[in-house]
Structure 1
Amino acid sequence: MKLTRPSLVAVLSFCMLIAPSNAQSRSSDSGATEASVTVGPRDDGNWFVRYSFDAPQPVYAIAHSLTGYRSATWSSQTEGVRLGRLDGIDVIVMDEPVDEIEFSIIPLTGRLPNDPTPFVTFAGGGIAVHDAQFELIGFKDIESVEALDGDLSALSSEVLPMTVTVEAEGPVLTSAAVSEDTLSAPVQDQYIYIGEGEYAFNDGFSFLADPYLPEWLSSGLPSAIEGFLGVLESRWGAELERDISVIAAYKGAQARGLSLEGSVLDSQIMLELGGQGFSNRNSDALAYLHWYTIRELVGLFQTRNGAVLGGPEAAWIHDGFANSIAYQLIASDMDAPDGFLSSVYQNAFEDCVTTLEGGSLETALERGASSGPYACGDFIALATDSYLKQRNLFDFWDGLSDWAARSSDHVIDKQVYFTSLQLMGATPRQRERIRAIVEDELGQPRRALRDLLQDAGLQPQFTANGQFRSMDWPDYSGE
């Protein structure tokens, strides 16, 4: 598969500002009580969300509630049932436990900083519902939620096993089932699509395109994805454990420029794209889309073998590595990759410095610096490879995953990263250089980043006024 040669590097550099959500559903305990949820449109334009419980509890936390939008968009329709916000967690409280509760909701179709878009709209009139937004964790009382101090990851209990039923007029489908007017499926971190369209099945994946997606994209993207999957499987030396699905939702061409956002789910990728730049065939838009798609696909390989990506404070690990691999794959198929790489990393260097001027890297997302984990994490990934003399991000990630598998929660966080780094050959001094970038509030972040690249033997080159120019790039041949 021939990757597109971009002619406007700025387009690719800019898209680092858009951070996809990496949703990780909590695994379910087979011994837990169960619940079901039914959703669908109401006559008044809102939607209903109806929960049914086999063993109701007085308090439930909504598992995906980092953003807190439900307080303004969900309204209880059941007497004695309230929804509120407690220490950053959306909580449902009942005066007395009941078997069934219902809410009237305004479907949120906008992007969230830490979770997938709850309801994705399509130019063709369809809508996709993210099933995991309804997941619940039961509690015996409100004090049990307060004891968490806002940290759902600290729970020993698990998300309730749940079935979702979507009711609507017309076709309702997943990559595994198609039905008319209603469809039921286990909640498994996927989108359920309502509207005209169908999944096309390819080697290793299925693809659902908005009927209004420009033909030059709908016809070319499946073959591109197949090629990208093949390259990633070859570089990692293993296939994904199961087939995936990809959905391309088109937002229309009303906006100027290019708009592209995405979500990496358990075995699915949602791409939300639009803008005038995608209206007609052009190499810049295609390069942008290809780069972004590769980066999303990498996220699926990062969670093989039961690995779970760490939270926002660890985003620099998986986002940075995915970003670096995506650039590697684009550059590896260029006749003259140096100019492209120099340009995108010039922007990344400044982006990383700006992020570190505002605080530590691990607080970047908390501070709204959404591009920081991509930019700084990318440089850390390259320095890591250089320290270990591998120059192979894929091998290092396998080592990282193997060590995470030894932990009780299988989470790839900074502790796993630094342990793996040292076990795989980095010296304590090298480890300390990276740790400082991640954890410290640096007085001279530009110098710290420059020193990291120099210490790693990447031979960074700078202009007379201190701007990043180039460095010793890894071997992208794959040989």
Structure 2
Amino acid sequence: MQARRRLRCALVLALTAIGCSSPERPVAQSSEAAPIVEATASAAPEAPKPDPARLVDVTYHPANDSWEVQWRFSEPAAKILFDRRKSAKRNGVWTAGEGLRWVVEGSNELLVPIDAKPTKVFSARFATNDEQLGRSPPQNIRFTDGGRLLFTSQLGVHAIACENNGRCDRRDVGGARVWRFHTDTDWSLRVLGSAAKGQLEWAEPAGDLRGTYLYVGKLDPVANDGVRFLVDPAIPTWLADETKRRVPALLKFYAEKTAIKPDFEPMVFVSRSRTGEAIGDVNGRVLPGLLQLEAIGQKWDTASGQLKGQWFELVAHESFHLWNAQLARRDENAANEWLSEGSAVYAGSEALLSEGLVDQKSNDRHIVSSSNRCMANLKGPIFDEGAAASFYSCGAVVQFLIDRKLAKSGGAFGLLAATFAQAKTRGSYCTKDYLALLEERAADPVFVRDLRTWIEKGFAEDRAVFLQRMLKGAGLSTSIIPPKKGTNDAPTLRLD
């Protein structure tokens, strides 16, 4: 979702058993649950509110581009454990608050009182940091005018209480968490549908630990066709206009294809970075209620057909994640990511075709290219967190094959729509649900068996022969090109 992507072609671009780990879960509130309320610096101050049972108090200091955070609990805690535990490295770049120290236990970073006495208040401070570690969104996104985004999930914690016998447990599981944000009185704060100047309170949906982006800065969003845009001043006019035109059109396209309309007004953050470098790269991700898009490098200063195609592909891919990651919640097991990423690649390809930005022949070449990347990178099953490098390529090929097989019954979009509709009642969807629906719809048990084996166990036969056979069944004729002698390269397919 957040990996950098380049144009696909020179023209426009150029587990043994699969199960759902948590089929029932709280449903996130609509991002428009709270109306936009603008407060001014001159407004009369409200009476102090009592602290909730779980409070995260965050202050941004524009003068030195730094942050302070306090976590307050109604009962004393022995330590706090962060929601996001992989690749965070907080203990190396954050400064623990007075009387606290960092402790690392396996992949867990914890803040612990130095005197070992439980406390109701924990704190830390850190500088703005836009480094991306692993696949998680970066802690911050910088806007060139000084504005910042803060990924709230990097600050989410749970209180840990310990008994005299040494047993420690989380004591705040499922409890509501309230955030209070502070900054200079002439700076705006925005979280989803809430906005104010200087100070803002946000009640995080109970049980939803995905987090979102807080915006702090001086920009105001611009609304267009049911979408709000907050655009970095360094974004060229042509690219800002392209974004404001493309996003609403894509949302309508996907709503029509899936028969599911967004029940919220999305926010789109568009930022610019590394403007002094002679590159033209992109980055993007989706969090509840929003898209975050980034134009990287100097080449974006001047419009071109190649750059427009590259940007459209990014926007199309990320926009579909509003469907397969928000309107329908994917199961938390990371192995299911092949389904959300693969379907987003497929949906983006369909959008490119619909807009005439690629022709069918170019799209066929893209499918064969994805097949080659899948052959080269996949080392086991697709349904495996270790197959992350293959989620995009293998997942896109799976969607293409299904689309052709179910051409008379709604194609891949029809199957995805049924999966999402089912998830609305069950709380989430996973690979098991998806394959069960495929089995119901496909009139070809051999096809379903072969696809299921590939997803669950990996290639069951020579990978080039397997993919050549599957693509032929989908109407694509290819030739197998053997690797060069003396190399360990995988064979490749070439479109006939």
TM-score by length of 1: 0.81
Equivalent of 1:119, from 140, 144, 151?
Answer: 140
**1:459 match:** 475
The one-character-per-residue Cα deviations of 1:27-69 (angstroms, maximum 9, x if unpaired) are 5999x94222223239776432211222343243211222232
Match of 2:161 among 140, 155, 176: 140
CA RMSD of aligned residues (A): 3.5
Q: Secondary structure at the match of 1:300?
A: helix
What residue in structure 1 maps to residue 56 of structure 2? 36
Deviations 1:440-477 (A, max 9, x none): 354633333333334xx202222462644459xxxxxx
Task: Give, as a single letter, the amino acid of the residue that structure 1 aligns with 2:350.
Answer: Q
CA–CA distance in 2 between the matches of 1:418 and 1:159? Answer: 34
Q: Partner of 1:164 in structure 2?
A: 180
Q: Is the 8 A contact 2:188 2:217 kept in 1?
A: yes
Mind listing any 5+ residue stretches in structure 1 that lack a counterpart? 1-5, 15-25, 472-479
1:146 CA drift (Å): 10
| Aligned 8 A contact 2:300 2:307 in 1 | yes
Answer yes or no: is the 8 Å Cα contact 2:187–2:217 preserved in 1.
Answer: yes
Contact 2:284 2:318 in 1 (8 A): yes
Aligned to 2:363: 341
Q: Which of 60, 79, 102 is matched with 2:123 structurally?
A: 102
Find the counterpart in structure 1 of residue 9 from structure 2: 9
Aligned pair partner of 1:248 in 250, 270, 274: 270
Match of 1:437 among 434, 447, 454: 454
**Mapped partners of 2:167, 2:299: distance in 1:** 48
Q: Which aligned pairs between 1:250-399 and structure 2 lie closer than 5 A?
A: 250-303=272-325, 307-334=329-356, 337-356=359-378, 358-363=379-384, 366=386, 369-370=388-389, 372-389=390-407, 390-399=409-418
Q: Percent identity?
A: 15
Q: Does the CA-based 8 Å contact 1:120-1:129 persist in structure 2?
A: yes
Distance in 1 between the 2:175 and 2:288 partners? 15
Structure 1 residues 83 and 448, CA gap change in structure 2 (3 angstroms):
farther
Query: CA contact under 8 A between 1:68 and 1:89: conserved in structure 2?
Result: no
Residue 90 (structure 2) pairs with residue 70 (structure 1): yes
- 1:394-446 alpha-carbon deviations (Å, 9 max, x no partner): 22112212444554xx3322222222222334655333322332233546333
Question: In terms of Rg, which structure is larger?
Answer: 2
Alignment partners' CA distance in 2, 1:84 and 1:104: 16
Q: How many residues are matched?
A: 440
Q: CA deviation at 1:248?
A: 0.1
Aligned to 2:250: 228
Compute the displacement of 1:143 (Å).
12
Aligned: 1:91 with 2:73: no
Structure 1 residues 159 and 437: alpha-carbon distance in aligned structure 2, compared to 1, 3 A threshold: farther
Q: Which residue of 2 aligns with 1:400?
A: 419
Residue 438 of structure 2 corresponds to residue 417 of structure 1: no
**Which stretch shows the higher mean deviation, 200-209 or 391-400?**
391-400
Structure 2: gaps spanning 5 or more residues? 1-5, 15-24, 30-51, 206-210, 483-491
Shift in CA distance, 120/11, structure 1 to aligned 2, threshold 3 Å: farther
Shift of 1:324: 0.5
TM-score by length of 2: 0.78
Letter in 2 for 1:96: K
Aligned-pair CA distance for 1:218: 1.5
Shift of residue 215 of structure 1? 1.4
Per-residue CA deviations over 1:105-132 (Å, capped at 9, x if unaligned) read 2432122333222110112222111222
CA apart distance, 1:317: 0.5
In structure 1, C-alpha distance between the alignment counterparts of 2:383 and 2:151, rounded to whole Å: 28
- Does the 8 A contact of 1:310 with 1:412 survive in 2? no
Contact preservation (8 Å) 2:280, 2:297: yes
Letter in 2 for 1:165: F
Aligned partner of 2:101 among 61, 82, 95:
82
1:165-244 map, 5 Å: 165-168=181-184, 170-174=186-190, 176-187=193-204, 189-244=211-266
Secondary structure in 1 aligned to 2:134?
A: coil
Distance (whole Å) between structure 1 residues aligned to residue 231 and residue 132 of structure 2: 19
> For structure 1, which segment, 58-67 or 373-382, has the greater mean C-alpha deviation from structure 2 after superposition?
58-67
Letter in 2 for 1:413: C
Question: Contact 1:66–1:114 at 8 Å: present in 2 too?
Answer: no
1:355 positional shift: 1.5
Between the aligned partners of 1:347 and 1:253, the Cα distance in structure 2 is 31
| Structure 1 partner of 2:70 | 50
Are the aligned partners of 1:135 and 1:159 in contact in 2 as well (CA < 8 Å)?
no
1:73 Cα deviation from its structure 2 partner? 1.5
SS at structure 1 position matched to 2:386: coil
Matched-pair contact (CA < 8 Å) for 2:330–2:340: no
- Compute the displacement of 1:377 (Å): 0.3
Change (3 A) 1:161 1:124: same
